[in-house]
Amino acid sequence: MKKIKLGTSNLEVGEIALGCMRMDRLTKKEATYVIENAMDAGVDLFDHADIYGKGKSEEVFADAIMSPSMREKMVLQTKCGIRKGYFDFSKEHILASVDDSLKRLKTDYIDVLLLHRPDTLMEPEEVAEAFTTLKENGKVRHFGVSNQNPLQMELLKKYMKQDLIINQMQLSLMHTPMIDAGFNVNMQNNPAIVRDSGVLEYSRLNDMTIQAWSPFQYGMIEGPFIGNPDYPEVNAKLQEMAEKKGVTDSAIAIAWILRHPANIQPVVGTMNPQRLTNIAKASDVTLTREEWYELYRAAGNDLP
């Protein structure tokens, strides 16, 4: 699998990551197979969050694979900030959440910590203090955010000593608002609405990695569009290109994301080892400019 650099850090990882939200449903044996299969395919960044399985996903992951030798071969990322009914970016919660994740993951450090969703009550000075404490104590090496717009990140960066290297955003062939707005500048149609303050361009200007979550979902995690009879045109085009390239339709959907020059890393959440192996082959597929636009139009998008 091709490698990418995460933001301004020195971390080089496979260009596709594995999201571990559903790992709490697996046995130790199943989880071990999923993780080992992922690494064999070149996937070495594993994305967690303190709320996934109420912490059990991190526990299952660690019980399945964690050892000093394996730890050095992978990049562990986790998220914090979502609590029952509210968001919490307080220094106290960030520090406690990281300590809990470290225990569950059976490791001394987290490679990347992301703030999970924006907290409008965020006091950036507190967040910066928490990040500095975690960095100086060796508990977290790099930091990022999730689902934030440029001004939210700028507010945080005003007080931080470290770089924000990642912004995790929803993006799939059937969920493209950050791309749509760029095509429809100064127009009065719905795609012209800038919903994220130009986060795609901001990330490129600031050398941040966008991690695309739910790369097979449509709407707000309403379900997969791959093989969905409600979306015949895009599935027909995906299947056509899959046959042409000798990969699966899911691999083509991921290759479509990878084709964008914005250093986007898809985070796939499958716990099916064979499906992940097939998806990982997207790294060997390079769509032409014409093919990329064919898929974009097949997904129901009109170019101005």
Compute CA distances 187 → 183, 191, 202, whole Å: 9, 9, 21
The CATH number that applies at residue 21 is 3.20.20.100
pLDDT, mean over the chain: 97
Instruction: Find the catalytic residue in 52, 218, 231, 296.
Output: 52
pLDDT tens, position by position, 218-269: 987 789 999 999 999 999 999 999 999 999 999 999 999 999 999 899 999 9
High-pLDDT (> 70) share of the chain, %: 100
Instruction: Please report, for residues 7, 35, 92, 101, 251, the alpha-carbon distance to residue 88 in angstroms, rounded to integers and kept in the order given.
Output: 25, 30, 9, 16, 36
pTM of the entire predicted model: 0.96
Output the pLDDT for position 68: 87
Query: Average pLDDT in the 183-200 region?
Result: 95
Confidence band, pLDDT 50/70/90 cuts, at residue 297: very high
| Encoded tokens for 48 | 């967690």
**Catalytic: 52?**
yes
d(CA 158, CA 250): 40
Q: What is the pLDDT of residues 36-59, one digit of tens each?
A: 999 999 999 999 999 999 999 999
Indicate whether 104 belongs to any domain: yes
**Burial class for 247, CB neighbours closer than 10 Å (0-12, 13-18, 19+):** buried
The answer to the question of residue 254 being in a domain is: no
Residue 98 in any domain: the answer is yes
> Is 195 a domain residue?
yes
Query: What pLDDT, on a 0 to 100 scale, did the predictor assign at position 61?
Result: 98
Q: Report how many domains make up the chain.
A: 1
Taking 80 as the threshold, does the pLDDT of residue 114 lie above it? Answer: yes
User: What residue type is 2 in one-letter code?
Assistant: K
- CA dist 23 and 241 (Å) reads 31
Quote the domain boundaries for residue 215.
3-229+265-270
For residues 212-220, average pLDDT: 93
The string of pLDDT tens digits covering residues 142-191 is: 999 999 999 999 999 999 999 999 999 999 999 999 999 999 999 999 99
55: in domain: yes
Q: 246 in a domain, yes or no?
A: no
Q: Read off the pLDDT of residues 269-295 as tens digits, 9 standing for 90 and up.
A: 999 999 999 999 999 999 999 999 999
- Alpha carbon of residue 244 to chain centroid: 28
Residue-wise burial string across 159-172, b where 16 or more C-beta atoms lie within 10 A, e elsewhere: ebebbbbbbbbbbb
Is residue 186 situated within a structural domain?
A: yes
Quick: pLDDT tens for 122-152. Answer: 999 999 999 999 999 999 999 999 999 999 9
* pLDDT for 220: 79
Q: What is the DSSP string of the chain?
A: --EEE-TTSS-EEESSEEE-GGGGGS-HHHHHHHHHHHHHTT--EEE--TTGGGGHHHHHHHHHH--HHHHTT-EEEEEE-EETTEE---HHHHHHHHHHHHHHHT-S-EEEEEE-S--TT--HHHHHHHHHHHHHTTSEEEEEEES--HHHHHHHHTT-SSPEEEEEEE-BTTB-HHHHHHHSTT--SGGG--SSSSHHHHHHHTTPEEEEE-TTEETTTTEE-TT-TT-HHHHHHHHHHHHHHTS-HHHHHHHHHHTSTTTEEEEE----HHHHHHHHGGGG----HHHHHHHHHHTTPPP-
Query: Could you tell me if residue 132 is inside a domain?
Result: yes
At 4-42, the pLDDT tens digits run: 999 999 999 999 999 999 999 999 999 999 999 999 999
